[in-house]
């Protein structure tokens, strides 16, 4: 067992504070333990990567940590969201301990929350947050309240709630909200990259080139091509970070001699709101993925296998056979990918006829030969931004920026197809109303399916970008044009999604 401090706690200091940790099963402890740490974590139901909170005296609040483990059953499906909610609860616990007389969260009340809001949202110190982050904190605490009331751990709601009418995809809706939640701020403009800016950011920030495209002799990065390939996958498919990060090698599309766009099924077990969908990969990216698996990744796996890294993992799920849709665990149990969540995917390990571990099925591996987590990719992107800044290039790119970039460029291509289908000239200038009439219906429905959104209205936000940059509609996006064939493969299933 190894407890790892989360990145949020870098400023915790050396005093007695509430801390958030994450479990690491099957990893030798950095300190000798007088007990079997893995067994303790399994008995507690703390799977690998699960967050848990320790009090300032090192105590483990059984009920609070049971809430964190139960988040997935209460609608928080994404691993990133669970970590974010756990961090929000931990920071509130820390505030109660340090600023409210050592209070426990079980004794909190509305006055505590208002005091926390004054510091966290309206304060002037380095720990202040945006309205969006504050509202996420409120959502985390509200989830804790709901769970605790259901478990009969609280006698009543500790915070004040009010009724409010909100606009939802289904129309006006009456909801009950925390009185200390903030009104939604006007939606910020979508951040996306042009093709040229993406190539510059990728090559300089991830691949270690100079802005003029020549090699940088000072570059010491060892995983530039892997990282650049991950960015290519995001921007050409629109996949979310967690979806792309948890891909298995067996889910990659086959590469043939023909220039055929490959398909990847985003499993319901890793997709947001469990909505499975199909995304399409350009031939070059598909070939590069197989090249990474067959050469760079394989060399790494073989080195770590010889070193005994995989045999040392006691939490592995041994895989005998696997294809693009399902696999067979040792013992004969068959699993569909649609039922394997990210935590279990990270444990999947190929084994040979003698049961010896041959390497993970998880596609993206770190230098230790083990699966890379989503948080690592966030750090990779941040370092790329910092490297670009060193050359005077002002980029603030996150994995979701590339999803937005895919959506904007894809919407431009979809509109161009619609224009051609209507027999119009592609260089015609459109009014705001004409653009929306062209897009509402089939093209937006296709984009909704490609992005995996629940409601078509969610993709309307990209219309505003087109209103401000109509050249996107008219320009020939050559590097993405190969994806046009994929549009015809998207099957509209209105009944299923409505």
Dump pLDDT digits (tens) for 379-422.
999 999 999 999 999 999 999 999 989 888 887 777 766 666 55
pLDDT of residue 425: 54
pLDDT at 64 over 80: yes
pLDDT of residue 72: 85
| pLDDT, mean of residues 115-133 | 90
Dump pLDDT digits (tens) for 264-312.
999 998 888 788 888 988 888 999 999 999 999 999 999 999 999 999 8
Q: In 3-state terms, what secondary structure has residue 206?
A: helix
pLDDT of residue 318: 94
Mean pLDDT computed over every residue of the chain: 80
pLDDT of residue 440: 52
Other beta carbons within 10 Å of 247: 22
Q: Which of 49-58, 361-370, 441-450 has the lowest mean pLDDT?
A: 441-450
Burial 420-454 (b: 16+ CB within 10 A, else e): eeeeeeeeeebeeeebeebbeebbbbbbbbbbbbe
Sheet holding 51-54, edge to edge: 4-5, 19-22, 51-54
Q: How far apart are CA 248 and CA 336, in angstroms?
A: 13
Give the pLDDT band of residue 429 (cuts 50, 70, 90).
Answer: low
pLDDT of residue 29: 45
Dump pLDDT digits (tens) for 180-233.
999 876 556 778 888 899 999 999 999 999 999 999 999 988 899 999 999 999
pLDDT of residue 172: 73
Q: How far apart are CA 88 and CA 90, in angstroms?
A: 5
Which is nearest to 188 in space by CA: 11, 394, 401, 443? 401
Of all helices (H) and strands (E), which one includes residue 175? strand 171-178
More confident residue, 32 or 74: 74
pLDDT of residue 139: 95
| pLDDT, mean of residues 85-112 | 95
Which is nearest to 361 in space by CA: 262, 247, 266, 253? 247
| pLDDT, mean of residues 95-111 | 95
Start-end of H helices in 292-332: 298-306
Taking the mean position of all CA atoms in its chain, how far away is CA 223? 20
Q: How far apart are CA 263 and CA 210, in angstroms?
A: 34
Q: How far apart are CA 494 and CA 423, in angstroms?
A: 26
pLDDT at 490 over 80: no
Question: Strand 317-322 to strand 348-351: parallel, antiparallel, or no bridges (unpaired)?
Answer: parallel
pLDDT at 473 over 60: no
The whole-model pTM stands at 0.69
Say if CB 180 and CB 113 are below 8 A apart: yes
More confident residue, 429 or 327: 327
pLDDT at 49 over 70: no
pLDDT of residue 497: 46
pLDDT of residue 4: 41
pLDDT of residue 166: 67
pLDDT at 110 over 80: yes
Dump pLDDT digits (tens) for 2-25.
334 333 333 333 356 788 777 765
Q: What are the tokens at 402?
A: 């590339």
pLDDT of residue 48: 62
Q: Which of 31-35, 129-133, 143-147, 194-198 has the highest mean pLDDT?
A: 143-147
SS3 content of the chain, % helix, strand, coil (to 5): 45, 15, 40
Give the pLDDT band of residue 454 (cuts 50, 70, 90).
Answer: low
């Amino acid at each position: 067992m190894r407890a790892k401090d989360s990145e949020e706690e870098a400023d915790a200091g050396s005093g007695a504070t509430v801390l958030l940790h994450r479990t690491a099963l099957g990893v030798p402890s950095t300190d000798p333990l007088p007990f079997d740490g893995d067994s303790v974590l399994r008995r507690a139901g703390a799977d690998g990567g699960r967050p848990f909170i320790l009090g300032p005296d090192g105590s483990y609040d059984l009920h609070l940590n049971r809430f964190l483990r139960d988040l997935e059953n209460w609608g928080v499906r994404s691993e990133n969201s669970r970590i974010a909610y756990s961090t929000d609860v931990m920071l509130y616990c820390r505030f109660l301990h340090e600023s409210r007389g050592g209070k426990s969260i079980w004794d909190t009340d509305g006055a505590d929350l208002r005091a926390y809001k004054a510091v966290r949202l309206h304060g002037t110190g380095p720990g202040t947050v945006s309205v969006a982050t504050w509202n996420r904190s409120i959502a985390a605490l509200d989830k804790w309240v709901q769970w605790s009331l259901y478990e009969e751990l609280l006698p009543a709601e500790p915070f004040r709630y009010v009724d409010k009418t909100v606009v939802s995809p289904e129309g006006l809706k009456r909801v009950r909200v925390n009185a200390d939640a903030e009104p939604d701020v006007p939606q910020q403009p979508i951040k996306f990259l042009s093709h040229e800016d993406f190539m510059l950011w990728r090559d300089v920030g991830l691949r270690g080139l100079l802005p003029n495209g020549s090699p940088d002799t000072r570059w010491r990065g060892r995983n530039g091509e892997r990282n650049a390939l991950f960015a290519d996958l995001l921007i050409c498919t629109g996949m979310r970070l967690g979806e792309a990060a948890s891909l298995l090698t067996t889910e990659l599309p086959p590469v043939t001699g023909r220039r055929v766009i490959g398909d990847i099924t985003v499993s319901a077990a890793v997709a947001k709101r469990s909505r499975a969908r199909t995304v399409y990969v350009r031939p070059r990216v598909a070939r590069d993925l197989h090249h990474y698996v067959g050469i760079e990744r394989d060399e790494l796996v073989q080195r770590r296998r010889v070193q005994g890294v995989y045999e040392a993992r006691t939490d592995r799920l041994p895989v005998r056979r696997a294809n693009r849709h399902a696999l067979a665990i040792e013992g004969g149990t068959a699993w569909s990918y649609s039922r394997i969540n990210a935590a279990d995917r990270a444990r999947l390990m190929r084994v040979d006829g003698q049961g010896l571990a041959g390497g993970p099925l998880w596609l993206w591996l770190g230098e230790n030969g083990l699966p890379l987590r989503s948080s690592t990719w966030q750090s990779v992107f941040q370092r790329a931004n910092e490297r670009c800044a060193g050359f005077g290039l002002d980029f603030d790119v996150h994995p979701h920026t590339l999803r937005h970039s895919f959506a904007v460029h894809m919407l431009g291509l979809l509109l161009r197809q619609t224009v051609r289908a209507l027999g119009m000239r592609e260089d015609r200038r459109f009014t705001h109303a004409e653009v929306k009439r062209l897009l509402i219906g089939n093209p937006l429905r296709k984009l909704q399916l490609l992005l995996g959104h629940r409601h078509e209205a969610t993709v309307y936000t990209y219309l505003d970008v087109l209103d401000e940059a109509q050249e996107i509609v008219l320009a020939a996006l050559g590097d993405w044009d190969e994806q046009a064939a994929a549009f015809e493969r998207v099957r509209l299933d209105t009944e299923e999604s409505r």
